[in-house]
Structure 1
Amino acid sequence: MLTVNLARQLRDDGGLLWSPKAGDRFVIDAELLTGEVFWISDLTVETQSFSDQTLLGFNGTTEWALDSVTLDQALWLPREDQLRELIGSRFRSLSQADGTWRVDWEATDGLRTTTDPDVECAYARTLLAISGETSQRSNG
C-alpha cells in the first residue's frame, strides 16, 4: 500500500489534487490517526459540499468521535489503478523481479525506470519523477 510519506509528497511536491469519490481511501493527516485508513462509501464515509468546502462525513461510525473532517485534514492514498491512470500515456510497462516492482515510463529525453518493493509506491515515485521533470521544464 502507498505510504503516508509518499502520499504527502504527491500532494505537496507533485501537486496532486483530490476530488473524493466512492472507493477512494484516505487517512486523517494527524499524528495519532495516520495509521487508520478510511474508505469513502455511501454507507460510512461520504463527501458533502458546504459553501466552498468539501467535508468527509462519517455516518454510523459510533466508535469514532468524528462527525466530519475537511478535505485539507485528509490525505488521499491513491490506489494502484488511480496512480497508473495519473501516469497516463507516459506509462510503458510494469514488471516485477526479485521482489521489486519496475515501472518503465517515457521521459522527455527517453525511457526511464522507477522501482520500489511496493507496486503503488513504484507508481507514486514515477509520478513524482514526472512532476519533477515538468517543474524543471517550466522553471528552465
Structure 2
Amino acid sequence: MKKEKSCGAIVIKKDADGYKTLLIKHNKGHWSFPKGHVENNETEEQTALREIKEETNLDVSLDTRFRRVSTYSPYEGAVKDVVFFIAEAKSGDIRPQIEEVSTCKWLDFDKAENLITFKNDKNIFREAKDFIAEHYQ
C-alpha cells in the first residue's frame, strides 16, 4: 500500500463583516483549501506554508492548535493523509497558481461550506468554524 501525505490550511481573514475563508477551485474542478504534498524533510507546518504561498500567493500565520487529518484513497493501492491547520492571512494579493488552481475566492462561512466539494473537507471545515468561534474574535 502506497502512503501519501499532504498538508494545507483553512485560510481565514477578518473584515468588517466578520471572518471569511479562502476556497480554491482546483483545475480538476473541485473546491477545497490550499494544500500539497510534503517534500523532502519538510515539517507539516513548512509544507502548509509553502503550499499556501505557491497556490495563492498569500503569506499566513498558522494556528497549529487546530490540526485535523483527512484520510482517503485517491486511487487503488494508495492511502493519503491530508493534514489541515487554520491559517490567518497576513499579506499578499491573491494570485492563483495557474498550473493547479483556476480561481480563489474569499467567502463567508455559509457560502464556503455549500461550495466545498468533498464531504471530508466539509466536516473538517465545520470543526474549524467551531474552533474559530471559540478561539478568535
Interval containing the TM-score (normalised by the shorter chain): under 0.3
Normalising by structure 2, what TM-score? Answer: 0.26
Hey, which of these two has a bigger chunk of strand by percent?
2
User: Relative contact order, CA 8 A, sep 6+: which one is greater?
Assistant: 2
Normalised to the residue count of structure 1, the TM-score between the two structures is 0.25
The structure with the largest alpha-carbon Rg is: 1
